[in-house]
Amino acid sequence: MEPTDWLLTGEERGNPATRLDRRRQDGTAWSAGNDVRPLVHGATYFAELLAGIRALRAGDLLLFTDWRGDPDERLAGPGTEVGAVLRGAAERGVVVKGLVWHSHLDSFRFSEEENRHLGKEVRAGGGEYLLDMRVRPGGSHHQKCVVLRHPGRPELDVAYVGGIDLSRNRNDDIDHHGDERSEPIAEAYGPHPPWHDIQLAIRGPAVGDIETVFRERWTDPAPLTRSPLSRLRERLHREDTQADPLPAQQPDPTPQGSHVVQVLRTYPNRILRGYDFAPDGERSIARAYLKALGRARALIYLEDQYLWSPDVVKYFARALRANPRLRLIAVIPSVPEQDGALTLPMNLIGRITALEALSQAGGDRVAVYGVENHAGTPVYVHAKVCVIDDVWAAVGSDNVNLRSWTHDSELSCAVLDETEDGREPHDPGGLGDGARRYARDLRLMLSREHLDQEEPRTPHAPDPLCDPVGAFDSFAAAAAALDSWHERGRDGARPPGRLRTYRAPELSRLRRLLAKPLYRVIVDPDGRPLLLRLRKTF
């Protein structure tokens, strides 16, 4: 296997303005020698992040981007509120810099005040925090990363990338009882919505790539907002609107492991003036998926918050049609986050049409599931994960929809492990790539949680979940058993597992007709340049 079989070259990224692909002397668009650890659940991530921040000393560097930040969200119990922890780091002399989405008005149930309040905490300690609205109309900065650098102690350098915001609802664990500090979402999830999510902890040279992503946004010369109303609010709130210089970037950390990491992004094509580091936007997340899907032969495993958009799902459908033994497992929220009379159809129409397209392409080779906790409460799936043939795995902030692939800012990491996995089947895809340890372990870790299965106690013991067909059948059997138990009125012992077969609700023809324009304009807009839209490509 060559990395270029699965990963984008710099030319394929399609954004010559970025520094990402010019950082290495050999011109490779990825870094080797990394150690990547999946941190499943917010509680796991937050505990590690808290320890990492508390270990920072004066002169160390803490950089973070976020969609929403709640200053009172606890990382690990009383006294570990996000705002206080970041403020404390800045007061110790740590260089703290934050870029958080400015957000739309709170009257639209977004995060304007929460993001502003977190900034007050950071600035009170001497850190710098910018509210960034350099997006397309209706768009957001959706990247979620934290970079910790330690001049003189590079072995401690780490970057966290994934789907977990520093905000309420996220601090849940494998039992999925929800975060004690919760914000309400759809009624079905209850007062403390159970929350399934994932973040990556990355050590090695890729830390420098992720820091570069932050630095490109930080040094963007464009004003933080073009809106006269937002500029007036900035003055009224005395917000910082000018980015101070960053310390010089340290050399990349030395190799730490066997993982090849490619940093992928979405930036929209901004009207009038684009980003100086992406004048026409960047769609490397979309392009990476298209390249990886071209090699899919055995199993696509997805966990996704949305799984919307026929314009995106058609590439999964194309792979299913081209490969008659290819299967797809998708784990998604049982109920959309918003359940209002207007917002629910807007959220459902894209999913319904996307799942119809997948079903038409793959038939019974496509299986879609929701998740519930052991009390029977649905778990909100916020994770964004894709594993293809136990070789290529991507985790990030991006969802499978047009908004994430073209319109908002997103950040993801695709990982190839140079270490082959010794368990059967050795080469699920049959292309000679060989199953890879990281991708398979990630899929199995997530699958075992949903199936309530423990890891085999005997090393190298046969594991039916390694086999794509065995995994597909195990999911189907577990969901059927749990569905049947519910249909019987929960009579008898609850079967193991947390999977429920997803059944898309019916929308009348009229509701579909009314919801579709709102879905296209508001829920899942297109941020591509006009020429790419016309060509229907990325």
| pLDDT score for 234 | 64
Which domains can be identified in the chain, with CATH numbers? 22-257 (3.30.870.10), 282-535 (3.30.870.10)
Name the H helices within 488-524.
Answer: 509-518
| pLDDT score for 239 | 76
The predicted-structure confidence for 13-54, as pLDDT tens digits, reads as follows 999 999 999 999 888 999 999 999 999 999 999 999 999 999
The predicted-structure confidence for 422-444, as pLDDT tens digits, reads as follows 999 999 999 999 999 999 999 99
The rounded distance, in Å, linking the Cα atoms of 121 and 324 is 55
Per-residue pLDDT band at 231 (split at 50, 70, 90)? low
- When pLDDT is averaged across residues 255-268 and rounded to a whole number, the result is 98
| pLDDT score for 316 | 98
Neighbours of 100 (CB within 10 A): 26
Which of these, 337, 327, 304, 332, lies nearest to 499 by C-alpha position?
332
| pLDDT score for 386 | 98
* 112 pLDDT higher than 70: no
Tokens for 97, please give them. 């810099």
| pLDDT score for 109 | 47
- When pLDDT is averaged across residues 322-341 and rounded to a whole number, the result is 94
- When pLDDT is averaged across residues 131-157 and rounded to a whole number, the result is 96
| pLDDT score for 86 | 98
* 265 pLDDT higher than 90: yes
Q: Find tokens 């597992």 and name the residue.
A: 497
The rounded distance, in Å, linking the Cα atoms of 396 and 271 is 26
* 425 upstream amide cis, omega within 30 of 0: yes
* 417 pLDDT higher than 60: yes
Per-residue pLDDT band at 105 (split at 50, 70, 90)? very low
Average pLDDT value over all residues in the chain:
94
- When pLDDT is averaged across residues 220-243 and rounded to a whole number, the result is 77
The rounded distance, in Å, linking the Cα atoms of 382 and 371 is 11
Query: Strand ranges (DSSP E) for 304-426?
Result: 327-331, 366-371, 380-381, 385-388, 392-396, 410-417
The rounded distance, in Å, linking the Cα atoms of 353 and 156 is 46
The predicted-structure confidence for 156-205, as pLDDT tens digits, reads as follows 999 999 999 999 999 999 999 999 999 999 999 999 999 999 999 999 99
| pLDDT score for 347 | 84
* 477 pLDDT higher than 90: yes
* 106 pLDDT higher than 50: no
> Which DSSP category does 495 fall into?
P
User: What is the distance of C-alpha 265 from the center of its chain?
Assistant: 11
Tokens for 512, please give them. 């579909």
| pLDDT score for 228 | 67
